[in-house]
Amino acid sequence: MDFLPLFLRLTGRPALVVGGGEVAARKVALLLDAGAEVRVVAPELGTTLAGEY
């Protein structure tokens, strides 16, 4: 199976994203749209994450 469908209520919940590249930036955007409190752990941030958030 290629997908793991999850439906979670993330409003006000902590979420951790590991990595600072473009894939991480997409995940951060989705989590923020869902209302999560996002933390990013990465040795370096890509231009999208560094410039947007």
Which CB contacts under 8 angstroms, 24+ apart, belong to 20-26? Answer: 20/44, 20/45, 20/46, 20/49, 20/50, 21/46, 22/46, 22/48, 24/49, 25/49, 25/52
Q: Contact 17/29 with Cβ under 8 angstroms?
A: no
Number of domains in the chain: 1
Residue 35 neighbours by CB distance under 10 Å: 12
Domain for residue 8, yes or no? no
Over 80: is that where the pLDDT of 53 sits? no
- Which tens digits make up the pLDDT trace of 15-32? 999 999 999 999 999 999
Mean pLDDT of all residues in 48-52: 87
Percent of the chain with pLDDT over 90: 83
Domain for residue 4, yes or no? no
Q: What is the pLDDT of residue 2?
A: 85
Over 80: is that where the pLDDT of 48 sits? yes
Domain for residue 6, yes or no? no
Range of the domain at 41: 14-52
Over 80: is that where the pLDDT of 1 sits? no
pTM: 0.85
Domain for residue 38, yes or no? yes
Domain for residue 41, yes or no? yes
